[in-house]
A and B are shown apart, each in its own frame.
Chain A
């Protein structure tokens, strides 16, 4: 089946469906899929609605309808264009579709139970009734479940393996890099961050802080509620931050990086041909240019040559980063997070806050890139230190 689709798709060029309505639809989708439109005006609203409306959308009928809409939109959108279809059914991209479907399904399971549990808590009822809380023997109740899971998983893995050949391209040629060169799909969130940050940030510091932040997370989260059951009402802050990181900054960036980044890492809408000759002019501007040369660039501010001393030149950016990383945490401790600071203690709070503000640096940089074509806050090629 999948092999059949890929032969169909590898026909190359041309559309499966044509017509003025289809073309208008494709243009609209292309225009809306660029990150500066889709992230703030599609993915973020969907994310917020998911959290705010979790009592409504998780009802089985609504969720079922949403699943149908998702599948029609997702699979329908790839069936009307050969090039896009070819990208989605590339063997190593198939797991992404499986990941998206299973993450969505599991989110439904989690929020459905959260909604039911929160309703019980609100009514003053215990979350588990007596019958569900009784102990059962592992043999047979658990080992049989495990056996069934193993059988189903084995069957699924075998069907997947027989139906979809593992990818194998031409032999390695150290002199001929493909364009685009992409990391394995599960790292593409990081590769997509390279659009906004240099490799030392996107490839070293940010992944390092994702790992250290995850390990430290149980010590950051001092909220004793919601231990051992699904809930949203009792853990709004923690769940919002974590799911924002996982769904928006990880999963959505993987989708961008795999499906919508073409040659030279240029962005292509789903229905745009991956033209390797497309030249996108690099117009991004550093913060120091804006600061010293604002008159020319944005019509107000100074109109001076860049100072010769690099540290003086980059002072505005250095001050901004220092403010963001060093001053913002104590400001949070004294204002909106006063209670948190009191319960956590200084050391623990500041480690948490630094992870939080560095995570926030990515969306901040994204927005500034979209609004001001900002390239770097700090541009110090003298030290390979661009941020």
Chain B
């Protein structure tokens, strides 16, 4: 029996189809293991060889990798959620209820929501690890900055997503947050110095219909325009920004010398 399985497997590994996909044998010796990493788009994010001390779990806590894993999980569950959700006040709340009661395996929203919370925690821990190992020090200063922007983008992703269930928790949390926009110096209606921003002749430039909070919400309060705006930011703009920055972040890890370690 095992002879049969082996011969079937061998013929698969020898086939033209297999060899066109994986241009190397089973990664059993050094040459094929190197090839496995080098000839695969996803695996070649890694170098071929790394210092043993650099990949210890007690050193990295795997938190950067987990953040990326959670980003992928959010992207996949997010696309699935988009099948069922309409970002208008008439339907948004009932669509969320239907997600639990009508959709097969009704934990899609749970995975998406708890994954988002977990991603925030994972990023904080990743930053704490990078800080406490001094891994932001030369030559990795710039990549730390890219990482900080990624933190901001992730928190904005969470913030915009928080509105979408369109329940009391959602709109009032976003109201508290977006009220801060009203207090922006020079650009918010309740902020310092906004009265001084005016056109010649004393025409005020910043009004309740043009201040920072209005631009965020497309309205003076959290309403249907804000829901649409947050939906588009949450599903298109911010994920694209995050994906681009993640690419830069990973590329720079390689270019800056890989996982940090004692010099």
Contact = CB atoms under 8 A, between A and B. Distances in A.
Given A145-B55, A149-B66, A161-B111, A228 B261 contact: yes
B102 to A, nearest CB: 15
B87 interface: no
B: interface residue count bin? 35 or more
Nearest to B118: A157
Contacts of B209: none
Nearest to A99: B121
B158 interface: yes
Contacts of B120: 95, 186
Contacts of A190: 180
A332 B149 CA distance: 30
A49 B166 CA distance: 45
B168 A203 contact: no
B231 to A, nearest CB: 14
A215 interface: yes
A145 B175 contact: no
A179 to B, nearest CB: 10
B144 interface: yes
B48 interface: yes
Interface residues of A, number: 90
B223 interface: yes
Interface of B is mostly: helix
Interface stretch (B8-16, B33-41, B197-205, B235-243): B33-41
A217 B33 CA distance: 39
Given A133-B51, A133-B52, A153-B66, A140 B144 contact: no
B107 interface: yes
Given A133-B53, A200-B185, A165 B110 contact: yes
A187 B177 contact: yes
B51 A143 contact: no
A186 B238 CA distance: 18
Given A157-B114, A170-B168, A383-B193, A103 B262 contact: no
Interface of A: 92, 95, 98-99, 102-103, 106-107, 109-110, 113-114, 126-128, 131-143, 145-146, 149-150, 153-154, 157-158, 160-162, 164-174, 176-178, 181-184, 186-187, 190-191, 198-200, 202-205, 211, 214-215, 217-219, 221, 224-231, 235, 239, 242, 246, 383-385
Interface of B: 27, 30, 33-34, 36-37, 43, 46-53, 55-59, 61-62, 65-66, 69-70, 73, 89, 93, 96-97, 100, 107, 109-111, 113-115, 117-118, 120-121, 124-125, 128-129, 131-138, 140-141, 144-145, 148-149, 151-152, 155, 158-159, 162, 165-173, 175-177, 179-185, 188, 190-195, 221-223, 260-263
